[in-house]
């Protein structure tokens, strides 16, 4: 048996603002986010004969991440619920893709949410190993399962 890590990379566009922040990120602005999702497992632990030799079919991983993360967050504006309620109301009246959360929508906090969501939907024959979220080419945060056990 060989333990192997399998990774897929996704891209989505999202806007956010950091409430009470002192720098530029207090303004509503967007990022072209890159999300790297890595699962680990042993080969052939699934029951699908068409996936012989695989830990997990890349297309299965793609479908899960797209359904539970990308579809929800792509081209959305994510805001802390402490944002001016009048503004939130106006935004929600005019746009369908406003996500209001009870946390500061930083890469770190988003990773916590994404990890929670992915662990719910990944098949039992793999384990979420790590996920990495990049806001820019030089800035990224990483969640590791081993750091969070």
Name the residues that contact Zn ion, by CB under 5 A: 25
Is 25 catalytic? The answer is yes
Shortest reach from residue 16's CB to Zn ion, in Å = 6
What three-state secondary structure class fits 97? coil
Residue closest to Zn ion when measured from CB atoms = 25
Q: How far is the CB of 111 from Zn ion (least distance, A)?
A: 14
Catalytic residue among 25, 66, 113, 117: 25
Do the strands 3-16 and 29-42 form a parallel or antiparallel pair, or are they unpaired? antiparallel
How far apart are alpha carbons 128 and 126 in whole angstroms? 7
Tell the smallest beta-carbon distance from residue 136 to Zn ion (Å). Answer: 9
Are 2 and 88 within 8 A, CB to CB? Answer: no
135 part of the active site: yes
Active site residue ranges: 25, 75, 135
């Amino acid at each position: 048996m060989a333990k192997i890590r399998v990774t897929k990379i996704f891209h989505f566009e999202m806007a956010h603002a950091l409430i009470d922040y002192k720098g530029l990120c207090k303004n509503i602005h967007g990022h072209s986010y890159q999300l790297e999702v890595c699962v680990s497992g042993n080969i052939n632990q699934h029951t699908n004969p068409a996936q012989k030799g695989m830990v997990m079919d890349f297309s299965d991983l793609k479908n899960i991440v797209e359904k539970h993360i990308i579809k929800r967050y792509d081209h959305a504006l994510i805001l802390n619920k402490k944002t001016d309620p009048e503004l939130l109301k106006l935004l929600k009246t005019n746009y369908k893709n406003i996500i209001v959360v009870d946390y500061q929508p930083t890469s770190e906090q988003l990773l916590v949410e994404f990890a929670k969501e992915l662990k719910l939907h990944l098949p039992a024959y793999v384990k979420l190993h790590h996920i990495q979220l990049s806001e820019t080419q030089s800035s990224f945060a990483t969640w590791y399962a081993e750091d969070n056990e």
